[in-house]
């Protein structure tokens, strides 16, 4: 498992619901936490490790060894959004790129936790921003899609750099070509169904 970078097609994939919460999934989630901490992140969606599943993890402190700060959201649905707030975001799939994004100030999110228990959380501030950012990932939406036009223009050159690097890695055989990556995403969904 590894964190994939823009423009890996998994980041544009609309993922499917998790159907079974079992030991295998718990192992996947543990690996995701380890990767997230190693990358110094505070949230990571399954799309970002090329798994087309509707789940993400967060730990707003970004520090390992605090299990009470670790949260897993499985099949999350944001059921209510209120207000608006602009704040800076980054993404482990776009390392080094940051910009201001407008998000709802307060949200209500329904999901399942790693024990399969339904959870409903009313969130604001950083947790609300995190959950909106990560839920977007599950629909193949990135924070760069939500930038105002002037800010989007500012990051365009960096996006081109990401694209160039990714295509070079594909040409060198370090990363499979898009057709194969898409085939993997598609067949994962079929084998899980
Ligand atoms: Zn992200």
Whether 79 shows a pLDDT value over 60: the answer reads yes
From ligand 1's centre to the CA of 5, what distance in Å?
A: 10
Whether 192 shows a pLDDT value over 60: the answer reads no
CB 134 within 8 A of CB 56: yes
Question: Which residues are within 5 Å of ligand 1 (an ion), measured at CB?
Answer: 91
From ligand 1's centre to the CA of 4, what distance in Å?
A: 11
CB 135 within 8 A of CB 76: yes
Whether 71 shows a pLDDT value over 60: the answer reads yes
From ligand 1's centre to the CA of 93, what distance in Å?
A: 6
Instruction: Give the pLDDT mean for 22-33.
Output: 96
The catalytic site residues sit at 134
Q: Which fold has domain 9-192?
A: Peptide Deformylase (3.90.45)
Whether 193 shows a pLDDT value over 50: the answer reads no
Give percent of the chain above pLDDT 90. Answer: 95
User: What pLDDT does 158 receive?
Assistant: 96
Give the alpha-carbon dihedral of 77, 47, 185, 74, to 10 degrees: -40
**Exposed, middle or buried by CB within 10 Å (0-12, 13-18, 19+), for 95?**
middle
Position 189 confidence tier, pLDDT thresholds 50, 70, 90? low
Whether 100 shows a pLDDT value over 70: the answer reads yes
User: What pLDDT does 168 receive?
Assistant: 98
User: What pLDDT does 188 receive?
Assistant: 87
Measured CA to CA, the distance from residue 122 to residue 107 in angstroms comes to 6
pLDDT in tens, 135-169: 999 999 999 999 999 999 999 999 999 999 999 99
């Amino acid at each position: 498992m590894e964190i994939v970078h823009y423009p890996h097609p998994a980041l544009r994939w609309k993922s499917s619901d998790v159907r079974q919460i079992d030991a295998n999934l718990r192992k996947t989630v543990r690996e995701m936490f380890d990767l997230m901490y190693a990358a110094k992140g505070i949230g990571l969606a399954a799309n970002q490790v090329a798994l087309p599943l509707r789940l993400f993890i967060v730990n707003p402190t970004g520090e390992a060894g605090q299990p009470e700060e670790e949260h897993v959201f499985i099949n999350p649905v944001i059921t209510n959004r209120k207000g608006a707030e602009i704040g800076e975001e980054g993404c482990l799939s776009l390392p080094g790129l940051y910009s201001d994004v407008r998000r709802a100030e307060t949200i209500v999110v329904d999901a399942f936790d790693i024990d399969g228990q339904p959870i409903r959380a009313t969130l604001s501030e950083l947790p609300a921003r995190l959950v909106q950012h990560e839920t977007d990932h599950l629909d193949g939406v990135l924070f760069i899609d939500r930038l105002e036009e002037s800010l989007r223009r500012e990051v365009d050159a960096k996006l081109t750099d990401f694209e160039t690097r990714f295509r070079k890695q594909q040409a060198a055989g370090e990363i499979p070509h898009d057709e194969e990556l898409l085939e993997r995403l598609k067949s994962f969904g079929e084998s899980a169904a």
